[in-house]
Chain A
Amino acid sequence: MTSDTLTPMQRTLATLGHREPDRVPVFLPLTLHGAKELGLSIEQYFAEPGNVVEGQLRLLTKYGHDCIYGFFFAGLELMAWGGGVMFFDDGPPNAAAPVIHRPEDILDLVPPEVAETPCLLDVLSAQRMLKSEVGDDVPIIGVVISPFSLPVMQMGFDHYLDLMLETPHLFERLMALNEEFCVAWANAQLEAGATAIVYFDPVASPTIVPRQRYLETGHPVAMRTLARISGPTAVHFASGRCMSIIGDVIDTGAAVIGASTLDDLSSVKDACRTKVAVLGNMDAIQMRHWSQEAAESTVKASIAAAGKGGGFILSDIHGEIPWQVPDEVLVDIVSAAKRWGRYPLDWAH
């Protein structure tokens, strides 16, 4: 096996430019595993940005993958809006009670100021320290929850669907507030050192709303929001389907799209080729009990389906590897990616 000739950043930029780098880049979106490395509880780990810096650097060295993940957890954005989260010993923190109790509350809602919100400042501080450690060698991935998906945590999923379907004027108002916040939050991360922003928008997935509804709601929101984010973006559906809206996502100007196992990866790649790069598509829930052979065959299948011509980053389908996935599986994934991802992919037909 020949060794890597490019830095993770060079490799990633080449693939985003739809060229074939030395090998397929592999992103392990690890959040909770950093706590394991440091021997801390998940709550202690996220309480101090320095822990996340140390955790991410150790994970980078340990696995030799191609990114730093500057994401803490989704519920952090709810905290910014005045809500709380619940911590667990063996899984990601979850959003607690909603902050919008009745639709009319939206009229009095004020978006948080990034510069005055301690939990957001912690993330920025971690990203800043990470940037000073890795410089331009390793991409640092920032994350925002899209204005269109955030309300699931702000008000509860059922109340949000009711709002979207039945109270368009308050829905539009909430989108305007969330857009302001999302743009400011994304740009603050880019300024702090994030290379690109993942725009998590699972509610936009045809798994959750029909395409027609998306075109009337989440799509214009994404068009407006992504246009104001001053760096490359990846639109991600957190393992929801995307096939039928790929053209619409391309219109938003996103550089990357997150693919699910619910769609056929080679069809996704065909629809994206040269226009937007594909990120995916390993199932991180099943990963928990992968043998070395299973890791290798899944990596091979993904690379065979989407690797040719560049424009592909091997990753999971959700944007977070569960706590329960053993270290050995992660080692096996990266080693298979380094073996089978080397360009040109002559073995793949």
Chain B
Amino acid sequence: MAAKIPDLTPQSRQLEEALLTVDRVGLVALFAECTKSYSPLQVFEQVIGPALTRIGDAWERGEVALSEVYMASRLCEELVDSVAWPANSVRGDLPPIGLAVFEDYHMLGKRIVYAFLRAAGLEVADYGRAVADEVFEKVRGDGVQILLLSTLMLRSALRVRDLRSRFDAEGLDVKIIVGGAPYRFDPQLWQEVGADAMGRNGPDAIACVEAVVQRL
């Protein structure tokens, strides 16, 4: 008999409220209650994930600010780190995933994206800031099949094209997901540089991973 999927929407709404008001006490209590009754994956997918998605979407509409998105992602990171998750709580169905700030010196976008991915139960190798050669070596060494790149400057965004050519020349099937301000302002740019997907914000990163994994 299939287990009935519990409706955790009210908890997720409460979590969202606590994240936006930076109510740490309320947050910890709510989280403790959730993890007592539900599995880690259920908490990821039905409580934390939807709350962060709504916050990310509200940023897109100009209704919340980046400082709030950042705080929410940071608080979720703290929550996720505060418990020893059983090994089966991460998504085991995904190939190796890597994440880097590409060519730039701006870590905040990547930090937010990383927190979103982890809060969704995804295991991701964080390569910090890296230039093309470093990214290439990491990807090859770790067998990464999904690579997320964050850029802030247009010149860095354009350089993804060189990395793509290099993967192609070496016959590496790596799906590249890009994000960051230049791609947000120029919606065709991701295709121009040969990326496989573009995400506008943290929640999008998760959706993009789900989408490209189908194409591997």
Contacts and interface: CB of A to CB of B under 8 A. Distances in A.
Interface stretch (A91-99, A173-181, A335-343): A91-99
Given A91-B155, A285-B182, A285-B185, A209 B65 contact: yes
A283 B67 contact: no
B34 to A, nearest CB: 25
State the majority secondary structure of interface residues on A. loop
Contact of A324 (B22, B154, B185): B154
B107 A161 contact: no
A196 B111 CA distance: 37
B68 interface: yes
A47 B203 CA distance: 43
A95 B105 contact: yes
B108 A241 contact: no
A208 B67 contact: yes
Given A91-B154, A283-B185, A322-B154, A262 B62 contact: yes
A335 to B, nearest CB: 23
B62 A158 contact: no
Nearest to A92: B153
B70 A94 contact: no
A213 B105 CA distance: 26
B62 A206 contact: yes
A86 interface: yes
B155 A157 contact: no
B107 A156 contact: yes
Contact of B67 (A90, A165, A288): A165
Contact of B158 (A86, A210, A244, A324): A324
A44 B211 CA distance: 45
B71 interface: yes
Nearest to B64: A210
Contacts of A206: 62, 65
Interface in B96-129: 104-108, 111
B81 to A, nearest CB: 16
Most buried by A among B104, B105, B158: B105
Contacts of A94: 104-105, 153
B93 interface: no
B32 interface: no
B186 interface: yes
Interface in A197-221: 206-210, 213
A208 B67 CA distance: 6
Contacts of B22: 165
Interface in B172-216: 182, 185-186, 189
Contacts of B106: 157
B66 interface: yes
Contacts of B155: 88, 90-91, 322-324
Contacts of B189: 285
A289 B185 CA distance: 13
Contacts of B64: 210
B65 A161 contact: no
Contacts of A132: none
A325 B156 CA distance: 15
A96 B105 contact: yes
A57 interface: no
Interface string B134-168: 00000000000000000001111010000000000
A78 B16 CA distance: 37
A2 interface: no
A61 interface: no
A90 B157 CA distance: 12
Contacts of A88: 155
A332 B67 CA distance: 38
Contact of A161 (B70, B153, B182, B186): B70
A150 to B, nearest CB: 15
A324 B185 CA distance: 15
A3 interface: no
18 contacts: A91-B156, A94-B104, A156-B108, A157-B107, A158-B107, A158-B108, A164-B67, A165-B71, A206-B62, A208-B67, A210-B65, A241-B62, A243-B62, A244-B62, A283-B185, A283-B186, A322-B154, A323-B155
Interface of B: 22, 62, 64-68, 70-71, 104-108, 111, 153-156, 158, 182, 185-186, 189
Interface of A: 86, 88, 90-92, 94-96, 156-158, 161, 164-165, 206-210, 213, 239, 241, 243-244, 261-262, 283, 285-286, 288, 322-324
Given A158-B70, A158-B107, A283-B186, 7 more contacts: A88-B155, A157-B106, A206-B62, A285-B189, A288-B186, A322-B155, A324-B158
